[in-house]
Structure 1
Amino acid sequence: MLIVPEREIGALMTRASAFEAVEKVFAAMASGEAYNFPVIREAIGHEDALYGFKGGFDRAGLTLGLKAGGYWPNNLEKFRVINHQSTVFLFDPDTGKVAAMVGGNLLTALRTAAASSVSIAHLARRDAKVMGMVGAGHQATFQLRAALEQRPFEKVIGWNLHPEMLPNIETVADEAGLPFEAVALEGMREADVIVSITSSFAPSLMAAHVSPGTHLACMGTDTRGKQEVEAALLAVATVFTDEVAQSVSIGEAQHAVAEGLISESDVHQIGAVINGSHPGRRSDEEITLFDGTGVGLQDLAVAAAVVDLAVEKGIAIEVDV
């Protein structure tokens, strides 16, 4: 078995590599060559933690495995480690033997940002100039860096429930040489692309806050009950997702479906746009929305890529099991 420790991930996995891996696996999902296993996610009754498993099998890439981990809300304050903790395990699809164990914390951040940036690359207007961020936590910085590489943006605007956190994303805008402006939610009407990345259980962004032609990537809702945007917004948008079953059960679409505003058939796989079997954006006035719920195959794809890089650079640790 090969081990790639968490400490090595930052020097191995680039945003470009993560984008390529996630784009390929989304395409494989849409063509039926890859599928995700049912998600297990449980409150364990200790340290207020949520723990679970995501996995799947990609026949095209011959990638089989799972990610184990979750959210420990007291970690940062009590133990000075990040709240999200995960590890990816890869298995040989021919024999079932364990092939690799990979630190999953940074990879999770990179694959989540890659998913939204894939949606921007394929669905945002080509002339998009203003990038909007709803949320300014740790993951928001990864989201913004990846998003800014997809279009020639000229300005970044941002909103966060706790405004004192906005310097997190202002710093990223500064790195890119772009002006940053803190706005009220109504100010998001100026944005051509909006990424929402919060852990909210009540909508912040409303349909009235979004202008025609905007592309939204909603990346924070991955659990039943969570919600970042008004359900009515999905009713006026063309909705895309990583996996339809997750979108309508634990993603943003769960609320619009429950309210009868859209049906499951109104939610499309982003992989179909990548494959060319769905046209994607049809006009400059159309609102497009990507419901990024996070699938196990994303984790496996970036983990497999990082293992290859680690072997190539002589960093992977080999152990007998």
Structure 2
Amino acid sequence: MDKVTVLNSHDIATLLDMPAVIQVVKDAYAEKTTKDGEIWPMVYNAFSDMADTDIRSGLLKPKKIFGNKELTWFGDNAKKNLPELHGVVTLYSSETGVPEAFINAPALTGFRTGAASAVATKELANPNSETLLIVGAGGQAAYQIMAQICVLPKLKQVLIYDPMSSENAGKFAQELPQKLTILFADNIQMNRPTVAAKIKERIKQIKFIAASNIIEATKNAQVIVTATPSTKPLIKAQWVQSGTHINAIGADMEGKQELDTQLYQNARAFADDLDQASGVGETQNPIKDNIIKKGDVTEIGDVIVQKSVGRQNTNEITIFDSTGIALQDLEAANLALQRAKRFNAGVVVDL
């Protein structure tokens, strides 16, 4: 029989630390560029305006694994006291085809999505940035904030703006230090004590502030992360100061938009996957408005392997469009699997 490791959300929380996930996501981008990783066509289906599923799959040649992630979103689940996101990442050996792991996909997705924007920030943002603005205080926000803290050594304050509720932003900001400590330090204390200690100390150095005025918050930020389901621009071009780096996370289907397309007139555009970004990501909007062309966008993997140039000076505005690629999930899942073997975590079952 095939022995398969099953990892639930608790396993993921105790096995993965954000700095390590940032590194493997960076590897995933590089592998896409060097062709050491293959991305296979995405399968997407919308059941309704409030429910959809997508399957992302691919191959990591150096790790000798392939696999897929199926993630479902059912927006009305909150009314049924159920999470909105469900799904599984499945890993297989590329040498034998034997299944190796079944892993909780929502738990993994939080880490790898936060890590994705952190990789871009590390490559593109001004390293001396002191103020971060997070637009959106939903389930992804804590992961985005922790990941940015990991790559911005001079960061002093995090502004949180919630376009739906300023009250929610205030509550979120107040609870954030404890939440970050539990999620990203306490959970890994047993397996990664040194990393946990560093994360705890770093969290203590940051001020978390609810922002009620998006205009002032945008003007004060050197790094911005948008993580909302918005279908209209939340960040206007005239608010953004020179030298700002923006990670656009929310747009993942046609019609979604978080940024004013006029921003792209005076910015350099980057993406995780050019085809996805121009079709369903934030990049679709300035292309439709004829402000940029698809060829004007640089894939972040090209910057990482030094095939293309990242930030060229301290004054330019850079925008990274993150739509998510299968290689991120496979790298993060493989990291979790290897650590599960090392720390004897999860459950091994016979199929």
* Structure 2 match to 1:129: 130
Q: Find the residue that maps to 1:37 and give its secondary structure.
A: strand
Aligned to 1:290: 320
Q: Give the RMSD, CA atoms, in angstroms.
A: 1.6
The aligned runs of 1:190-205 (5 Å cut-off) are 190-205=220-235
Q: How does 1:301-320 map to 2 (within 5 A)?
A: 301-320=331-350
Mean Cα deviation higher: 110-119 or 30-39: 30-39
* Partner residue in 2 for 1:6: 9
What is aligned with 2:296?
266
Code of the residue aligned with 1:92 in structure 2: it is S
Go from structure 1 to structure 2 and tell me whether the alpha carbon gap of 1:181 and 1:51 turns closer, same or farther (over 3 Å shift): closer
What is residue 119 of structure 1 aligned with on the other side? 120
Measured in 2, the distance between the counterparts of 1:168 and 1:207 equals: 27
Is the CA contact 2:160–2:210 (under 8 Å) kept in the aligned structure 1? yes
Distance 1:144 1:170, change over 3 A: farther
Indicate whether 1:237 and 2:260 are aligned.
no
The whole-number CA distance in structure 1 between the counterparts of 2:271 and 2:173 is 25
Q: Is the 8 A contact 2:262 2:291 kept in 1?
A: yes
CA contact (8 A) 1:50 1:71 kept: yes
Select the residue among 30, 34, 59 that pairs with 2:33: 30
Please state whether the residue corresponding to 2:312 is helix, strand or coil.
coil
Give the AA of the match of 1:69. L
Instruction: State the Cα deviation string for residues 160-204 of structure 1 (Å, max 9, x = none).
Output: 112122132453368444332514221111100001100111111
Q: Secondary structure at the match of 1:65?
A: strand
Where do 1:1-321 residues align within 5 Å?
1-45=4-48, 48-78=50-80, 80-151=81-152, 152-161=154-163, 162-166=165-169, 167-172=171-176, 175-179=203-207, 180-187=209-216, 188-321=218-351
Does the 8 Å CA contact 2:166/2:212 hold for their aligned counterparts?
Answer: no
Q: Deviations over 1:231-273 (max 9, x none)?
A: 1212321111111110100100011111111111111111111
Matched pairs, number: 319
Alpha-carbon separation, structure 2, partners of 1:170 and 1:268? 38
The superposition leaves residues 58-98 of structure 1 with CA deviations (integer Å, 9 ceiling, x where unpaired) of 223323100012211122231x3321112100111112222
* SS of equivalent residue, structure 1 residue 110: helix
Give 2:193's aligned residue. Answer: none
TM-score normalised per structure 2: 0.87
Structure-2 change in CA distance of 1:176 and 1:303 (3 Å): same
Cα distance in 1 between the residues matched to 2:210 and 2:177: 10
Runs of 4+ aligned structure 1 residues displaced above 4 Å come to none
Matched to 2:331, the amino acid is A
TM-score, structure 1 as length reference: 0.95
Gaps of 5+ in 2: 179-202
Q: Distance in 2 between matches of 1:55 and 1:235?
A: 34
**Fraction of identical pairs, as percent:** 28
